[in-house]
């Protein structure tokens, strides 16, 4: 079996919603369905994937706003993020109104995740790394076999997540990246919450915020 992924930029924020599936069973999950549910479901149908669960990296609007509605529509569970993002998830209906998003239903994830947890998707296993900083409850999903990580807004090609939001912590974010992502391996390809893919190795060499040479 092997892991396949398709990236769908959604919402006016062009957030990378990711479909993840097992190409043998065509069953899988969607990570960070922040909005544009019709577009997400069209891609799911075109690919022929059956969704089993929803994964959330963190509780910000562009990543999580449509998760409750999608879970209800398909009768599938939501796993993640860490419970420290509960305050963000509780504020989603109000945030949607504030930023002109479609109204979204409140929800509570079916499973809060801790560092070191495992998430199963269609026979594929993802390791959970709790990576606070951008938000206090942010998590990253890592599939060792495929050497693929879904990192949300922790790390980007050439940049890192903002920490000027409520309960953001710049030093915690740097520690999360260097202490919990780099040990996974330089060859790991990551899908960020926005923008193009990169590898941990490339960011260790050239990212102006977390490159190794800055900490030598």
CA atoms of 38 and 25, how far apart (whole Å): 23
Residue 11: name the closest of 76, 73, 101, 87 by CA.
Answer: 101
Show me where the domains of the chain are located. Answer: 3-215
Superfamily of domain 3-215: Ribonuclease Z/Hydroxyacylglutathione hydrolase-like (3.60.15.10)
| Residue 106, pLDDT score | 84
Q: Are the C-beta atoms of residues 30 and 44 closer than 8 Å to each other?
A: yes
pLDDT in tens, 8-54: 999 999 999 999 999 999 999 999 999 999 999 999 999 999 999 99
CA atoms of 145 and 105, how far apart (whole Å): 35
Tokens encoding 60: 């910000």
Instruction: For residue 130, name the pLDDT band (cuts at 50, 70, 90).
Output: very high
pLDDT at position 163 over 80: yes
Q: Are the C-beta atoms of residues 74 and 45 closer than 8 Å to each other?
A: no
Rounded to two decimals, the pTM is 0.98
CA atoms of 43 and 177, how far apart (whole Å): 31
């Amino acid at each position: 079996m092997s892991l396949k992924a398709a990236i769908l930029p959604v919402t006016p924020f062009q957030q990378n919603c990711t479909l993840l599936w097992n190409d043998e069973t065509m069953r899988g999950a969607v990570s960070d369905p922040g909005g544009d549910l019709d577009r997400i479901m069209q891609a799911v149908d075109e690919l022929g994937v059956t969704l089993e669960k929803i994964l959330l990296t963190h509780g910000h609007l562009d990543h999580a706003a449509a998760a409750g509605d999608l879970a209800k529509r398909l009768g599938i569970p939501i796993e993640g993020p860490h419970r420290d993002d509960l305050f963000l998830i509780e504020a989603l209906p109000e945030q949607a109104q504030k930023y002109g998003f479609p109204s979204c239903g409140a929800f509570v994830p079916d499973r809060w995740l801790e560092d070191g947890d495992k998430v199963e998707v269609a026979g594929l296993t993802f390791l959970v790394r709790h990576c606070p900083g951008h938000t206090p409850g942010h998590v990253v999903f890592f599939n060792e076999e495929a050497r693929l990580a879904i990192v949300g807004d922790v790390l980007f090609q050439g940049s890192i997540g903002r920490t000027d939001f409520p309960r953001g912590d710049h030093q915690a974010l740097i520690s999360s990246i260097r202490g919990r992502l780099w040990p996974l391996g330089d060859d790991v390809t990551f899908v960020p919450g926005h923008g193009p893919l990169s590898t941990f190795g490339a960011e260790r060499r050239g990212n102006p915020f977390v490159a190794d040479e800055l900490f030598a």
